[in-house]
Structure 1
Amino acid sequence: MSRAVFLFNHDAAHQVAHLAPVAGAMARLHPGVETLVAYASGAVRAQIENLIRPEDAARINWQELSLPRVIAGATRMLDKVAPATRLARLRFHLALFSSSHAVVSTERTCLRIKQRLDPDTAPLFIRVPHGTGDRSVTFHPDHRRFDLSLVAGPKMKEQLVANGVDPAKIEVTGYSKFEGIDLHARPDFFSNGRPTFVYNPHFDPHLSSWYDTGPELLRWFASEAGQAYNMIFAPHVMLFRKAIHISPEYKVGRVRPEIPEEVLAASNILIDIDGPRLFDMSYMLGADGYIGDASSQIYEFLVRPRPVFLLDPNGALGSQGETALPFLRTGERVESASGLVSALARWDAIGERYRPEQKRLIAHTFALSETPASERAANAIAAAVARREGGAPCG
């Protein structure tokens, strides 16, 4: 029997929702291929099982990517500067991957396995991107080394091809994270009738607005004037995992500012830096407007078009332009907290102005279909394995 390994090698849960539904669909639709989920921790497994049907979970073979205590202790200390534990898991469990027919992952660190294996006997390496963003790091040269990429829509396929990925190694299968989520939901976290804005800064020290402007912006929302609005502070989950962030892409390192003390008690501000709602789109669906910078979550927010404000204090986003970063066409770009505050007074009109472009870009980003994205992806994986093995897909 062929085996497809679904690799969940990240300790944070922000990538799980992009791949878990595909693993569930694979186990359900293709019993002729063993579906094995290799996971980093019990918490990650719990998150996976929370996102798939119980009967699908029962069909899956599970393997924790555990490490000997001495190795785990040493790599944890190194994780502050590099993904040492993730890389150690891959090397320690090399036999699992080498005996499989496909390795399906959301991130490119899995390619470290590929370089250690004989190309003639190595499994297929299949990528399901975690997000649909536009940043240049999304198109790392390593992506050309995947045997297959399963992307959300035409936009990402075009961008990958423009960056040298063979079109024959790309299939548009949709965005599986949307499955099981009511995209019309409007969760209300304040119950006071005021407009609510979600602030979603990235962790990259060059592109993120948090380092130069974020604390000042939160202080304004906590002030008397800011009480006219609600604020959900929902940063990228990796922002508060480290005190110092280094951007390999831009060769920049910075110390992350803390959340101001006076903000913590503000009744109109909800702060969540590591909770499960960061991953299930609750905050994106519950906000009237979005404030952000480089996070691909802007596309999840815009699945229902609404006002967008892009906070760009050092001009890092604007300098790249709308061709490189299409999301810059979806909202108002401002360079300071005071500029953002002024723009907020016109938030509804700004939303109307950008809505046509938001709808166009979202239609280009997500390929919706009556067949769920997870099933389309599972079918593509089964077909790829069958081609590799020289037979018909096992269903």
Structure 2
Amino acid sequence: MEEKVVAPRPGRSIQVCFFFNAQRHQLLHGIATAAALARTPGFDVHVVSPSQAHIDYARQAVDRLGGAPVSFVHARSSLLAAGMRRTGSVVPPKVMSLALLAPWLKRFDAIALPERTSILLKRMGVRHPSFIHLDHGAGDRAAGFDPRIRHFDFVLMAGPKHRERMMAERLIRPGAHAVVGYPKFEAADAVRDPDWRPFADARPVVLYNPHFCTLGSWQPCIEQVLAAFAGQDRYNLILAPHVRLLDGDAARTRWGALLDRYEGHPRIHIDRGSDRAIDMTYTTLADLYLGDVSSQVYEYLRTPRPCLFLNPHKVDWRDDENYAHWHFGPVAESADGLIDAVDRAIADHPRWRAAQAEGVARTFLPGGGAAMAASAIAGHLAHRTHAAPVAPRPRRRWARASRGVVVPARRAAMILPLVFAGWMLNETITPSFSRAAGSSFVDDAVAAHRVTLLRQDMASQRESDRYDPAEIRRATGIAMPALPAGWTVGDSQLYPSSGGDIVQLFLRTPAGDRVSLVGMRVETNADAQPVLANRAAERIAYWENGEFAYALVGTLPPARLLTLASAVARD
């Protein structure tokens, strides 16, 4: 029975972060749900990733899904960029991203995740948001039933197969989960090019899709597979391993020479990690699936077709639920005689068709998808009684501008030694790294000030000293005050936050004082007379004028800062 959705209180906007902290394939498991939830009144949806490429891909996906009022946020820092360069990966190390972003992520009412590592955020002090687990694949391997799932507040699943097993393993609780179908189908159908083909001829296409785990067939079989298909002329081969298999400099270096030998072969197409390896291009066009333990076999079997599985590790699989999909086609103990095995698998496919159809029906809820997933999330969040009120923000036109969240270098320098010391294995985050108590506007103002100080020290960051209040109001809706005579602008920036856009000016007074002026459309506990707050080394004088709040941030003595703030407030 579908849960009735209770609308949020009037003026209450529920802030939901879809956080993509791993390789790009996981984005397709959540982006259609994010778009559907963003279209639901009362919800503000933010798609966040430490990878700019992920954000660009997410924006494209939402556009092709018909558009939605989603905020796209690139969570960036020089340290995260350095982590990506060091590993050669498309994303920084997961735990590094979590440690740096934890303070910022606290502000959301919910964080939706297609992976389990990020549940470490709870141990890093991120306790207010409801953590929602998005179904990441729909396979049978034990890794899909990770014990960490039980730490999520709400769990989405593709079909009854997962629900039954998760209930049996006590990974989910009654009332804290929903079977919603497989939203990736909608996302993949929207983003891929249905007319693209890797081969000009009409030979049957075999897709070899090995998994990256130790039970996969890549290492013991890849050379034989390539040699076998290069030595025949009846089949075309697409080699598209799981995108994690060749992610990183070490893996690409280790296997590069072998793959280079077959690159350009007229009957072999090698994909080392393109978007086609994740958007179901290959599972849709293939005539036979050759693989091992990847959940992509179920995406391939959306339309029943021949399968052949490789078991070079001699696993005793027949009564093991982790290998249930191996009942959908023949299983070969090695890659010897591979082409003959492909011939037999195609000829004998009618023998396996009924099992394939039954397996798919238990794996994917018919009629489910992104709308059902979004409705389940909305129902869960609308019933939460402990969600703190969030300042309302005006709805925008669909396809919001992409912003960046910059992690202050000083905060990163404090956190990273703890990460590399392994503190997260035994301790929760220490209070000194928690968000300061008090107004979130004050915290956002300090964060903007710190980022701008960092920009001042980076030669690569171009500063903008142009200040046009009328232009700012047209672009953001934020009315910025006029500056007292003699004040000069060193930099002006627009930053995002879950509560709305933040305008920040880096200013110098005639006496040489360096301060930041921050403006935002938000309610605080201040009035027209500036009041003082403290955050670590910074002092903040903040006030309100109509529907806008302003703050002057710096390290000046309290009396001096209040005097300057009063001068701005009067003007």
Aligned residues: 370
Matched, 1:92 2:100: yes
Which digits, 9 at most, give the CA deviation of each residue in 1:334-374, with x for residues without a partner?
A: 021124322122232221111110000001100021xx511
1:265 and 1:53 map into 2 onto residues whose CA distance is 34
In structure 1, which of residues 213, 225, 231 is the aligned counterpart of residue 221 of structure 2? 213
1:388 and 1:116 map into 2 onto residues whose CA distance is 22
Superposition pairs of residues 119-134 of structure 1, within 5 angstroms: 119=127, 122-134=128-140
Structure 1 residue 188, shift from structure 2 partner: 4.3
1:339 and 1:357 map into 2 onto residues whose CA distance is 25
Matched, 1:23 2:34: yes
2:322 and 2:21 map into 1 onto residues whose CA distance is 29
2:201 and 2:129 map into 1 onto residues whose CA distance is 54
Matched, 1:374 2:381: no
CA contact (8 A) 2:88 2:249 kept: no
Structure 1 residue 116, shift from structure 2 partner: 2.5
Which digits, 9 at most, give the CA deviation of each residue in 1:88-111, with x for residues without a partner?
A: 222222233211111101001221
Task: Please give the secondary structure, in 1, of the residue aligned with 2:58.
Answer: helix
1:3 and 1:340 map into 2 onto residues whose CA distance is 52
Which digits, 9 at most, give the CA deviation of each residue in 1:255-297, with x for residues without a partner?
A: 6685354422320111111111111111111111000011110
Structure 1 residue 45, shift from structure 2 partner: 1.0
Task: Please give the secondary structure, in 2, of the residue aligned with 1:115.
Answer: helix
Superposition pairs of residues 285-300 of structure 1, within 5 angstroms: 285-300=284-299
Structure 1 residues 278 and 55: CA distance shift in structure 2, 3 A: closer
Q: Aligned AA for 1:13? A: R
2:260 and 2:65 map into 1 onto residues whose CA distance is 46
Query: What TM-score, normalized to structure 1?
Result: 0.86
1:47 aligns to what? Answer: 57
1:277 aligns to what? Answer: 276
2:44 and 2:15 map into 1 onto residues whose CA distance is 5
Structure 1 residue 322, shift from structure 2 partner: 4.0
Task: Please give the secondary structure, in 2, of the residue aligned with 1:62.
Answer: strand
Superposition pairs of residues 1-395 of structure 1, within 5 angstroms: 1-10=13-22, 12-29=23-40, 31-53=41-63, 59-67=69-77, 69-70=78-79, 72-73=81-82, 76-77=85-86, 85-117=93-125, 119=127, 122-168=128-174, 169-179=176-186, 181=189, 188-204=197-213, 206-223=214-231, 226-242=232-248, 259-316=258-315, 318-319=316-317, 321-369=319-367, 373-389=369-385
Structure 1 residues 327 and 213: CA distance shift in structure 2, 3 A: same
2:71 and 2:21 map into 1 onto residues whose CA distance is 16
Structure 1 residues 2 and 188: CA distance shift in structure 2, 3 A: closer
1:306 and 1:2 map into 2 onto residues whose CA distance is 43
2:24 and 2:87 map into 1 onto residues whose CA distance is 20
Structure 1 residue 59, shift from structure 2 partner: 1.4
Which digits, 9 at most, give the CA deviation of each residue in 1:220-263, with x for residues without a partner?
A: 1011xx21111011110111114667xxxxxxxxx668535442
Among all aligned residue pairs of Structure 1 and Structure 2, give the percentage whose two residues are the same amino acid: 32
2:238 and 2:132 map into 1 onto residues whose CA distance is 35
1:24 and 1:217 map into 2 onto residues whose CA distance is 40
Structure 1 residues 288 and 59: CA distance shift in structure 2, 3 A: same
Which digits, 9 at most, give the CA deviation of each residue in 1:186-214, with x for residues without a partner?
A: 8643232221100001111x211110111
Alignment RMSD: 2.7
Structure 1 residue 390, shift from structure 2 partner: 6.8
Which digits, 9 at most, give the CA deviation of each residue in 1:1-41, with x for residues without a partner?
A: 2211111112x211111100011011112x31221111222
CA contact (8 A) 1:217 1:337 kept: yes
Task: Please give the secondary structure, in 2, of the residue aligned with 1:327.
Answer: helix
Which 4+ stretches in 1 moved above 6 angstroms?
A: none
Task: Please give the secondary structure, in 2, of the residue aligned with 1:171.
Answer: strand
Which digits, 9 at most, give the CA deviation of each residue in 1:95-141, with x for residues without a partner?
A: 3321111110100122111122375xx21100112210111111111
Structure 1 residues 55 and 329: CA distance shift in structure 2, 3 A: closer
Structure 2 regions of 5+ residues with no counterpart?
1-12, 388-571
Structure 1 residues 198 and 239: CA distance shift in structure 2, 3 A: same
Higher-Rg member (1/2): 2
Structure 1 residues 45 and 57: CA distance shift in structure 2, 3 A: farther
CA contact (8 A) 1:22 1:378 kept: yes
Task: Please give the secondary structure, in 2, of the residue aligned with 1:175.
Answer: coil
CA contact (8 A) 2:80 2:97 kept: no
Task: Please give the secondary structure, in 1, of the residue aligned with 2:25.
Answer: coil
Ranked by relative contact order (alpha carbons within 8 Å, sequence separation 6 or more), the top structure is: 1
Structure 1 residues 54 and 139: CA distance shift in structure 2, 3 A: closer
Structure 1 residues 66 and 261: CA distance shift in structure 2, 3 A: closer
1:328 and 1:306 map into 2 onto residues whose CA distance is 14
2:530 aligns to what? Answer: none
Structure 1 residue 87, shift from structure 2 partner: 1.6
Structure 1 residues 166 and 219: CA distance shift in structure 2, 3 A: same
Task: Please give the secondary structure, in 2, of the residue aligned with 1:259.
Answer: helix
